[in-house]
Amino acid sequence: EAGVTQSPTHLIKTRGQQATLRCSPISGHTSVYWYQQALGLGLQFLLWYDEGEERNRGNFPPRFSGRQFPNYSSELNVNALELEDSALYLCASSTDRNYGYTFGSGTRLTVV
């Protein structure tokens, strides 16, 4: 069974540009979660999508947005990139979240 896959592995962008990160959940998982892991800050919750709908959103500005497609894959878009957006972005999926999430290996976003 394929795990949670994220692309690209690494992404380098210039301040002010837009970044698009992609995530494919485990087959059968309908929920997708996005977390930002910045150095020294642990994992900060960004977004949660389930069945194509946004279920919950973390304390991030509106320039962080996303969507979930009918096949349950998801995109995270970050507009007007700032240097502080440099981080590892982790995607996770679940079918029953009470048993935890399964994570991908992340996209390392570097803003220069």
Interface residue list for other proteins (CB under 8 A): 3, 33, 35, 40-43, 45, 48, 55-56, 88, 90, 92, 97-106
CA-wise closest residue to 51 among 104, 93, 4 = 93
Nearer to other proteins, 67 or 88 (CB): 88
Rounded to a whole number of angstroms, the minimum distance from the CB of residue 110 to other proteins is 14
Nearer to other proteins, 44 or 79 (CB): 44
**7 token code pair:** 């692309």
Nearer to other proteins, 67 or 97 (CB): 97
Nearer to other proteins, 84 or 99 (CB): 99
Cα 107 off chain centre by: 8
Rounded to a whole number of angstroms, the minimum distance from the CB of residue 81 to other proteins is 21
How far apart CA 104 and CA 25 sit, in angstroms, is: 8
Rounded to a whole number of angstroms, the minimum distance from the CB of residue 16 to other proteins is 27
The count of C-alpha atoms lying within 13 angstroms of the C-alpha of 75, restricted to the half-sphere facing its C-beta, is 11
Rounded to a whole number of angstroms, the minimum distance from the CB of residue 12 to other proteins is 17
**33 token code pair:** 């979660």
> Does residue 70 have a cis peptide bond before it, meaning omega lies within 30 degrees of 0?
no
